[in-house]
Amino acid sequence: MDYDRNKALLLELQRAAGTGNDRCADCGEPGPEWASCKLGIFICLNCSGIHRNLPEISRVKSLRLDFWESNLIEFMRSHGNLWAKAKYEAKVPPYYYIPKSHDCMVLREQWIRAKYERGEFLDTRVCPDPCSAGSREGCLWKLGKVRRQFQKRQFLLSTREGVMKYYSKESRGPKAVISIETLNAMFQVEKIGHNHGLQITYITDGQTRNLFVYHESGKEIVDWFNAIRAARYHYLRITFPNVPEPELIPRITRNFVKEGYMEKTGPKQKEAFKDAFALGQVYLGRRDEGYEVRDDLPQKVCVKKKKPVITLVTPVREFVFICENDRRQKEWMDALNEVITQL
C-alpha cells in the first residue's frame, strides 16, 4: 500500500509547480521519469545513463519502476531541481556552454561531471575572469590535410593576443595564427569519427578554413571548447560594449546548419550566404555601427587575378572576398547589404 501511495506522491512532486522538477535537472528535457535519489533531482532517461556511471555522487532510480521508501520521498521533497540548480549552478560563467538534450554525449557528460563531481560552479568557487579562462595551452590530435591522419599538435589560445595558434614539431613558427574574431567551434562527432571530435572554423584571407581535432579526454576537449567560448565572449564584450548580454551569448559559437557556404567560389543561392553571416561566423552589425560593403579592394591590398571583389568592412577589420564573376559579386553585395540594413 505504501508502494502505491509513495509512487503517487513522487509523481505529484515531479509535477509540482515552482520546483523545476517537471524538466530534467541537467538537460531541460520535459517530463523526467528518473531521479538521482542521492542528489535529490529529477532527470531524463538519457541523463540517468550518465548518472549511473557516477556511483560516488549519484544513485539512479526510476520514478515508476522502483520502490521508494517514505524517507527518500521526503529527501526528494526537501531538495529537487530548483534547489540543486541554486547550489550546483550558482556560478556558471556566462560563456560556459550548457548542453541541451540533443547535444552530443561528451558535452552532456562533462556538464554533469563539472556540476556534481567537480563542483565547478558551486557558490564557494572563485570564478575565473573571462580573460584567464580564455587562455589555454596543450596538445590536440589534428587531422592532417595531406595524409588524412591525426597528428599531435601543440595549440595555444590567448585572449590577450586575440588569437589561437598551433604548432607542428617540424616548424619553428606557428602553422596558423587564427583571429578570435572569426573563430568558431562546434562538436562534430560523426563527421570526425570520434566521440570527442571538435570542428574549429575560421576565416583567413577571405576563405573559410577548418581544423578537425579531438582529445582522448572528454574533460580536456570540453575545456578547450569552453576556453574558445570564453575568448570569444571576451572579444565580443570589448568589440560590442552596447550589445546586451542575452544577444551576445548566442553569438559566442554557432552550430551552423548550412556548411560549405564560403568554401565555394561563389554562393549558389544568396540565401545560403545571408544565413551564414546572420548565423554568426562573422558578427554582422548594422550600418550605423560601422559595417559597410564595398565593391573595391581596401587600400594596399592587391589581388593577382583580375576578378570582382567584395570588401566587408567591420569596426575591427576588413574582409576581402573574391567572386567568380560580376553576377555573383552583385548577388553577394545585395545579400550583404540586405543584412546590414535589416539588423
Q: Which residues bind Zn ion (CB under 5 A)?
A: 24, 26-27, 29, 44, 47
Distance between CA atoms of residues 56 and 15, nearest Å: 28
Q: Closest distance between Zn ion and the C-beta of residue 29, in Å?
A: 5
Pairing of strands 41-43, 163-167: unpaired
* Closer residue to Zn ion (CB): 26 or 120: 26
* Closer residue to Zn ion (CB): 44 or 140: 44
Q: Closest distance between Zn ion and the C-beta of residue 197, in Å?
A: 22
The residue assigned the cell 526528494 is 76
Distance between CA atoms of residues 164 and 122, nearest Å: 30
The CA-atom distances, in angstroms, between 145 and each of 22, 150, 177 are 47, 9, 17
Distance between CA atoms of residues 268 and 252, nearest Å: 27
- The x, y and z cell numbers of residue 154, run together, are 601543440
Distance between CA atoms of residues 283 and 314, nearest Å: 9
Q: Closest distance between Zn ion and the C-beta of residue 205, in Å?
A: 43
- The x, y and z cell numbers of residue 165, run together, are 595558434
Q: Closest distance between Zn ion and the C-beta of residue 254, in Å?
A: 23
Q: Closest distance between Zn ion and the C-beta of residue 131, in Å?
A: 32
Q: Closest distance between Zn ion and the C-beta of residue 45, in Å?
A: 8
Residues 6+ apart with CB under 8 A from 187: 103, 104, 106, 107, 197, 198, 199, 225
Distance between CA atoms of residues 325 and 300, nearest Å: 23
* Closer residue to Zn ion (CB): 39 or 44: 44
Q: Closest distance between Zn ion and the C-beta of residue 100, in Å?
A: 9
What's the start-to-end Cα distance of the chain, in Å? 62
Distance between CA atoms of residues 234 and 227, nearest Å: 11
SS3 174: coil
* Closer residue to Zn ion (CB): 44 or 143: 44
Q: Closest distance between Zn ion and the C-beta of residue 15, in Å?
A: 17
* Closer residue to Zn ion (CB): 45 or 278: 45
For the CA atoms of 202, 97, 91, 251, what is the dihedral angle to 10 degrees? 50
* Closer residue to Zn ion (CB): 47 or 143: 47
* Closer residue to Zn ion (CB): 54 or 293: 54
* Closer residue to Zn ion (CB): 24 or 200: 24
> 169-178 burial string, b = 16+ CB within 10 Å, else e?
eeeeebebeb
Residues 6+ apart with CB under 8 A from 108: 26, 27, 46, 47, 50, 99, 101
Q: Closest distance between Zn ion and the C-beta of residue 108, in Å?
A: 7
* Closer residue to Zn ion (CB): 21 or 184: 21
> What is the 8-class DSSP label of residue 147?
T
